[in-house]
Chain A
Amino acid sequence: MSGVQRIAGRGVVVMRSDVDTDQIIPAAWLKRVERTGFGAGLFEAWRKDPEFPLNQPGADQGRVLISGLNFGCGSSREHAVWALQDFGFAAVVAPSFADIFRGNAISAGLVPARVTEHAAARLAAALADAPDRPVVVDVAARTVSVGQEVTEPFELSDYAQWRLLEGLDDVGLTLRHEDEIAAFEARRPGWLPVVAPAGTGDEPRSAG
């Protein structure tokens, strides 16, 4: 996964609170076994409304989504992040993110930029005036701007920032601690449960 330093492009505003991941990507799309191709399912139900922001001219070029409190609540589906990315978004700017969504975003390289509620309102207003004003999310500087009109700081932990900037392989990072993992395993209490090894489960012989 490549790192992300700076995102520049079209902004789209969906100014609602509690945008849940069932809206971002409906469950039917979760039957896919691939990691790509979710863009067409992004906000599928809401896009049926011609007035929805994603349906406005130029929104199909959207790179930065601006939304409200508790963005990404509900189901843990990382497919919600993939849908945003497949559509073209590289960052979401909001006053708060649901915990699981935020973790999924960082894992997949989508920038979750947390701003104050007032800042989100100012950014949205600047885009309402002129929807094609360029939006820039600077991950290193932790700022988001709309044209020359508004620049706001955003919160991002040092560790999350580092992961986004470097685009690191999380599993590779963890395997640096192989010795410590093995040492921990050696001292786990013996009475902790172990699932039976494969072959002693109760798979039926018939297909199903």
Chain B
Amino acid sequence: MAERLFDKVWDRHVVASPEGEPPLLYIDLHLVHEVTSPQAFEALALAGRAVRRPDLTIATMDHDVPTIGLDKPIADPLAAEQIARLRANCAEHGITLHALGSPQQGIVHVIGPQLGLTQPGMTVVCGDSHTSTHGAFGALAFGIGTSEVEHVLATQTLSQVKPRAMAVTVDGELPAGCTAKDLVLGIIRDLGVGGGSGSVIEYRGAAIRALSMEGRMTVCNMSIEGGARAGMIAPDDTTFGYLEGRKHAPKGAAWERALDDWRSLVTDDGAEFDAEIRVDAGALRPAVTWGTNPAQSVSIDDVVPEPAAAKTPAARQAAERALTYMNLKPGTAIRDIPVDAVFIGSCTNGRLEDLRAAADVVRGRTVRAGVRALVVPGSAAVKAQAEEEGLDRLFTAAGFEWRSAGCSMCLGMNGDILAPGERSASTSNRNFEGRQGPGGRTHLVSPAVAAATAVAGHFAAPADL
């Protein structure tokens, strides 16, 4: 029977299929961070249970950590306590922890792939919705809540109703100036924030194949913003080339056996999906969100839309609310909107290629006076590599702040926040009301557009400069 990639990965992880209950799936890799784990570890302790597989668990500190002044104790007592809690929990249970200050610390969805821990055909979970990122490797990767974190710690399994399978096929070629970020924002614009609900998306087609691993991670990362349970891309030579030689990638004879298995992880010819959408990559332009959810975006060439033009009364109401919150008038050209802050970073766009893309735009230019601009590498390793290439000096010479790794201004838990009313161009994944700070106004863009916007002081594409 013709099977989809999703079925192949799902089926090989079913531990048990009890009568009248959802199947029990085995979890190959559990990523842990400081924010969604303390209550899980506490519940484990209260029930007198141990972590079943500390050897399949890895922890890091990312959400709360400061990105500046790392030599001082953490100023926020709540964050300091939460981080201390993670340290204690990992020590007690024998879980490897990449702590603040260590060379492999970073955003959880950046360090997994860097270490070669994320591999095709695996199940990967984490108490964080952007776990979908790891699907770029052909893994089944999804976010879970704290009770499920406890369940995975105790049993290394999860009970899951099998989602439906949706195909998003992207034909053609991304035009010059368009990136994986613009592609996924375009997909979400078509899908809507609930369109992928109940489904695992497989991204297919020439434009997907043409993406680097980092580009594929950007696309899969934002699957959750379209409501999907997970996003997957079938592994290929690009995937194998990325993985070969990484710390936890198989070596020697084991590598050959793994490759054999991984090459089977494709959707069979003739397999049917429960839903399909097609996107023409060639028609895309750099995207900018204007509203308060990731589907509310337009091309940078466009204007803020008229709520009356929305397809349903609910959509019109939502657009009106969004424009009031964002303090935008319909008909305003996107390029005419000034910004107060620019944030380059996050699990969506905080990797080396993202920093290089931004650096290429910034080289020989300076940040507009009055604009606060931050570059936050996604991990300590990304930061180190970027510094070897001189990107840090390039950014600071231009007037950017060069920070240490963490989630930072994506969600502002560490003090890197927008002041009320401030407007940002951000390479992160969510523009919800207050996401980057109470009253903060977030516009999602690609790293290249973020960099050009920092220089121009208003939304701009690199070609405009």
Residues of A in contact with B (beta carbons under 8 Å apart): 16-18, 20, 22-23, 26-28, 30-35, 45, 68-70, 73-79, 81, 96, 98-100, 103-104, 107-108, 157-159, 169-171, 173-175, 177, 180-181, 184-185, 188-198, 200-204, 206-208
In this complex, what residue of A is CB-closest to B83?
A: A208
Residues from chain A with a CB closer than 8 A to the CB of B81 are 31, 33
* A191–B99 CB distance below 8 A: no
Contacts A78-B145, A108-B147 given; indicate if A181 touches B438 (C-beta within 8 A): no
B151 touching A170 by the CB < 8 A rule? yes
Cβ-closest 5 pairs across A and B: A78-B145, A104-B145, A107-B147, A70-B194, A31-B78
Mark interface residues in B225-255 (1 if CB within 8 Å of A CB, else 0). Answer: 1010100000000000000000011100011
CB of A35 within 8 A of CB of B42, answer yes
Answer yes or no: B401 CB below 8 A from chain A CBs: no
Whether A181 and B26, one on each chain, are in contact in the complex, defined by CB atoms closer than 8 angstroms, is: yes
Q: How far is the CA of A107 from the CA of B248 in the complex (A)?
A: 33
Q: Check B20–A22 contact: CB distance below 8 A.
A: no
In whole Å, how far is A24's beta carbon from the nearest beta carbon of chain B? 11
Q: With A201-B96, A204-B99 as given contacts, are A33 and B39 in contact (CB-CB < 8 Å)?
A: yes
A177 B18 Cβ-Cβ under 8 A = yes
- Interface pair A192/B122, CB less than 8 Å apart: yes
List residues of B whose CB falls within 8 A of some A CB: 15-16, 18, 20-22, 24, 26, 28-29, 35-36, 38-39, 42-43, 47, 49, 54-58, 63-64, 70, 73, 76, 78-79, 81-82, 85, 90-91, 94-104, 116-117, 119, 122, 127-129, 142-148, 150-151, 154-157, 159, 161, 163, 193-194, 197-198, 224-225, 227, 229, 248-250, 254-255, 257-258, 261, 293, 314, 317-318, 321, 411-413, 430, 432-435, 438
In the assembled complex, the Cα of A124 lies from the Cα of B273 at a distance in Å of: 37
In the complex, which residue of chain A has the Cβ closest to the Cβ of B315? A17
A74/B430 in contact, CB under 8 A: yes
- Choose among A96, A169, A201 the residue with the greatest number of B CB atoms under 10 Å from its CB: A201
Docked-complex contact B197 and A96, CB < 8 angstroms: yes
- In the complex the two chains form, is A70's CB within 8 Å of B197's CB? yes
**With known contacts A18-B293, A18-B318, A28-B413, A76–B150 Cβ distance under 8 A:** no
